[in-house]
Structure 1
Amino acid sequence: MTTTDSSIDPTIFKAYDVRGVYGVDLTEDAVYRIGRAAAIYLNVPVIAVCRDMRISSPQLTAAAIRGITDQGVNVVDCGLTTTDELYFIVGYYNFPAGIMITASHNPKEYNGMKFCRAQAYPISLDTGLADIRDLAIRGDFPEPEHKGSVTHLDATDDYIKHALSYIDVSKIRPLKVVVDASNGMAGMVMPRVFQYLPAHLVPLYFELDGTFPNHSPSPIEPENLVALQKKVLEVGADFGAAFDGDADRMFPVDEHGQIVDGSMVMLLVSNNILRKYPGSTILYNLILSKSVPALIERDGGKAIRTRVGHSYIKAEMRKDNAIFGGEHSGHFYFRDNWFADSGLIAFLLILELVSVENKPLSELIKPLDTWVRSGEINTHVNDVQGKLKAIEEHFG
């Protein structure tokens, strides 16, 4: 039995993943212990491990792999990938579990871990992450008979081919598209994607740089889309798209540099999917525009409303066999992608729609934009628990 003495801050365990400031509350020792705890809890022979380009990701990946293998479980190290590629890897290669080292859109000081089971089923706080947390904090790890081994896999080409299978490449016109990778993982993937497309890629901030020298990797915030908007106008692009740090979320702008919000992306992608698969079920979260269910139904689809949160949407999609689901936050989920999200697939479906319709993106959006939307409104408060208690007392 191995016992560790150092403590782990339980607050790094969030609703859907682990996140913290590297070297402060998210240390290599903590990730080592979380790796061992995950190996015990998952009780599988092998775990796929991927990472993003953050400065601390190599060290934390090494710590996680060491923890997993010290617990007697084998690791397939897939190296640098997007988060949606991790989901693909687990589903396509039939791995029983996967771990992604990333902090997605968070500032450079942060890093974290995402977990999934077989078939890319997410592990959240109420579906296993709390158990992993408790095991890691307790720190009593049984000694295995032998350590696990490490092998390597480069799955990016297979992932790109899978994503491209969602569209008819022969229908893509030679459009000019600006992509802002936010110095994140899209900068590694998108040049390889465009090798298969007749469209012209204008790259913006494609250098992998975990210091994020140009802007925060959080394109849901309008200030982080300014450079993309300017570049689209400067080069006369047909449209542009920004990806977050781990490239699982995608945010477009039209040919005028106007931001296309999550509700409109949801409708554009739904429209294309319903042309291919008429009558399909599509899920949308409760804070998307009222135009979303109305227009999905108009196009012959079945719209089902769900609560916010990827673990809830994915579970509901499986239950209803929904072909597609989406959230205002830029997460878009696809049934034939193991119900996992993919910013790349959503991007390709919009590229195909603009190509087939032979109209500017703004003109495709105009008939869909039937309700006034506030956009996401964030409010900062000093006493979170106090405010929650006051709300509960008022409305309870």
Structure 2
Amino acid sequence: MGIYKAYDIRGIYPGEMHEETAERIGHALAAYLKTKMIVVGRDARESSPSMSRALIRGIADAGTNVVDIGQCTTPMVYYAVGTGKYGGGAMVTASHNPGKYTGIKLCRELAIPLSEVAGIREIERAVAAMKETPAPSADRGLVAQSDILEGYAKHVRSFLTVPKRPMKIVVDTANGMVGKFFRQVFEPWPLEVIPLYFEPDGRFPNHEPNPLKDENIRELVAKVRETKADFGAAFDGDGDRCMFVDEKGERIPSDFVTALVARRILAKERGASVVYDLRSSWVVKEEIEAGGGKAVRDRVGHAFMKATVRKLNAPFGGELSGHYYFRDHWFADSGMIAFVHMLNVLMGDSRPASAHSAPLRRYFATGEINFHVRDKDAAIEAVTKKFADGRQDQLDGITIEYADWWCNVRKSNTEPVLRLNLEAKTAARRDEILKTIIGIVGPPETEGGH
């Protein structure tokens, strides 16, 4: 797939992506954005300091000023761009990928993402056209450092809308960037935080920073049960995602989190739109509508979700992958703000976390299942024909719906796989349809994509 992905630029360091790549991307980004100032941040990977310096050098050599905010989370870059009214931002990170990877996430003014739809392909072409790294401009840009933590902490805390009460929470930041800032952000609140892997370490020695995979939340689950915590939270490597387990250590599916947060927000903004991705349970649409909101179904991917949330001025949107989008955070995602909204749900009600999610467990889902298939289009077409009498749409891959079950089969935006999500009114029906689809597509592989 190359290093230029659907939502970011990412590859193995230094074989696929290195400092010269980053410097040239800096030149191309400055030329594309045509702005006076770009924010740059970085994660804790061992390659990130040198990759960040190279990126900054390229931007400045192209004649654009840089605000270097140092180690940070991706949502902190969005905050810096939004509050500073800067023309764009770049985060040196490979997100949830293992430590051998490097990457860059990009946005323009107002934290609007660059993606393959707008921006990344143009930068790819510009870099490809460079026979060598361009010489510095005669009017080289200036580089200034900035510490934004105090302002960002206040921004995150501003999303709490219920009276604070003591809670015991296990938090796993996976040696990613959230651990560096979590205590300072939430120190004023009466939270007993039991930390797991708070020390930033870009080698990720304890587990991959991808909370979608059950294997990466095993310690979190065990610690929640051991300490009798109220709930647990797991962040990814760059802090734009957060996932949750209840007081029993059971995962609260991310679409259930979307439903719970939506109901809380709609209690104050009845009639507002809430955007959810098409992999989400029937429960999400039902809960949004029961709360007086307009349920808006969208295709998978942060570039698409952010655009729809912004277009509708929706206060909130959620994806099955654990990305949650907030109007008052420049329509961008933030794991810490999602954490605060979970506090709104649980602090605002004396019931345990499991009692909130239990009523939502009214259907039977497979979770997201991956298939390695040579001819993905042919596989999708075969599934489409098999269930031709069902309601179908092609918003993203193929979605098929019957009275008692539905499924979506789509090509991943980030990996060379097909992804299946299937839900039914009974476990038996779910298993029956899954067996049929496996018979068409072939054996499944692993969990944990997005």
State the TM-score bracket (shorter-chain normalisation). over 0.9
Aligned residue runs from structure 1 range 304-319, under 5 A:
304-319=296-311
Q: Residues 335-386 of structure 1: CA distance to partner in whole angstroms, max 9, x if unpaired? A: 11110011111111111221110110000111222221211112234x3xx3
Distance of aligned partners of 1:330 and 1:390 in 2 relative to their CA distance in 1, 3 Å threshold: closer
Identity of aligned pairs, percent? Answer: 46
Give the equivalent residue in structure 2 for 1:159.
152
SS of the residue 2:243 aligns to:
strand
Give the equivalent residue in structure 2 for 1:327.
319
Give the equivalent residue in structure 1 for 2:30.
39
Give the equivalent residue in structure 1 for 2:196.
204
- CA drift of 1:88 comes to 1.1
Q: Does 1:107 align with 2:98?
A: yes
Give the equivalent residue in structure 2 for 1:388.
377
* Aligned mates of 2:203, 2:29 — CA distance in 1: 29
Q: Does 1:250 align with 2:242?
A: yes
For 2:337, which of 331, 334, 345 is the aligned residue?
A: 345
Give the equivalent residue in structure 2 for 1:7.
none
SS of the residue 2:138 aligns to:
coil
SS of the residue 1:12 aligns to:
coil
Q: Is the contact between residue 169 and residue 230 of structure 2 (CA under 8 Å) also seen in structure 1?
A: yes
Give the equivalent residue in structure 1 for 2:181.
189
Q: Does 1:377 align with 2:369?
A: yes
Q: Residues 208-257 of structure 1: CA distance to partner in whole angstroms, max 9, x if unpaired? A: 11111111100100110100000101111000000000011001000000
Give the equivalent residue in structure 2 for 1:6.
none
2:142 aligned partner, one-letter code: S
* Aligned mates of 2:381, 2:4 — CA distance in 1: 24
Please list every run of 5 or more consecutive structure 1 residues that lacks an aligned counterpart in the other structure.
1-9
Q: Is the contact between residue 61 and residue 135 of structure 2 (CA under 8 Å) also seen in structure 1?
A: no
1:158 aligned partner, one-letter code: G
2:155 aligned partner, one-letter code: H
* Aligned mates of 2:46, 2:205 — CA distance in 1: 13
Distance of aligned partners of 1:175 and 1:393 in 2 relative to their CA distance in 1, 3 Å threshold: closer
* Aligned mates of 1:117, 1:275 — CA distance in 2: 33
Structure ranking higher on relative contact order (CA contacts 8 Å, 6+ apart) = 1
For 1:147, which of 133, 140, 146 is the aligned residue?
A: 140
Q: Is the contact between residue 56 and residue 111 of structure 1 (CA under 8 Å) also seen in structure 2?
A: yes
For 1:239, which of 215, 222, 231 is the aligned residue?
A: 231
Give the equivalent residue in structure 2 for 1:55.
46
- CA drift of 1:172 comes to 1.8
Q: Residues 304-324 of structure 1: CA distance to partner in whole angstroms, max 9, x if unpaired? A: 111111111111112211110
Q: Is the contact between residue 172 and residue 199 of structure 1 (CA under 8 Å) also seen in structure 2?
A: no
How many equivalent residue pairs? 383
SS of the residue 1:190 aligns to:
helix
* Aligned mates of 2:383, 2:266 — CA distance in 1: 43
For 1:65, which of 56, 73, 76 is the aligned residue?
A: 56
SS of the residue 1:47 aligns to:
strand
- CA drift of 1:184 comes to 0.4
For 2:215, which of 190, 209, 223 is the aligned residue?
A: 223
2:51 aligned partner, one-letter code: L
SS of the residue 2:251 aligns to:
coil
Distance of aligned partners of 1:394 and 1:292 in 2 relative to their CA distance in 1, 3 Å threshold: closer
Q: Is the contact between residue 167 and residue 191 of structure 2 (CA under 8 Å) also seen in structure 1?
A: yes
Give the equivalent residue in structure 2 for 1:180.
172
SS of the residue 1:229 aligns to:
helix
Give the equivalent residue in structure 2 for 1:97.
88
Q: Is the contact between residue 194 and residue 201 of structure 1 (CA under 8 Å) also seen in structure 2?
A: no
Give the equivalent residue in structure 2 for 1:5.
none
2:2 aligned partner, one-letter code: T
SS of the residue 2:369 aligns to:
coil
Report the more deviating stretch, 269-278 or 357-366.
Answer: 269-278
* Aligned mates of 1:17, 1:88 — CA distance in 2: 18
1:369 aligned partner, one-letter code: R
* Aligned mates of 1:85, 1:376 — CA distance in 2: 29
2:43 aligned partner, one-letter code: D
The alignment's TM-score, normalised by the length of structure 2, stands at 0.82
* Aligned mates of 1:375, 1:391 — CA distance in 2: 18
- CA drift of 1:395 comes to 5.4
Give the equivalent residue in structure 2 for 1:26.
17
Distance of aligned partners of 1:187 and 1:333 in 2 relative to their CA distance in 1, 3 Å threshold: same
Q: Does 1:77 align with 2:68?
A: yes
The alignment's TM-score, normalised by the length of structure 1, stands at 0.93
- CA drift of 1:134 comes to 0.7
* Aligned mates of 1:303, 1:200 — CA distance in 2: 36
Distance of aligned partners of 1:76 and 1:392 in 2 relative to their CA distance in 1, 3 Å threshold: same
Report the more deviating stretch, 283-292 or 351-360.
Answer: 351-360
Please list every run of 5 or more consecutive structure 2 residues that lacks an aligned counterpart in the other structure.
386-450
Q: Is the contact between residue 194 and residue 200 of structure 1 (CA under 8 Å) also seen in structure 2?
A: no
SS of the residue 1:35 aligns to:
helix
* Aligned mates of 2:267, 2:197 — CA distance in 1: 34
* Aligned mates of 1:380, 1:23 — CA distance in 2: 27
Q: Does 1:264 align with 2:256?
A: yes
- CA drift of 1:393 comes to 7.8
For 2:6, which of 15, 24, 27 is the aligned residue?
A: 15
SS of the residue 1:278 aligns to:
coil
Q: Is the contact between residue 160 and residue 343 of structure 2 (CA under 8 Å) also seen in structure 1?
A: no
- CA drift of 1:275 comes to 2.1
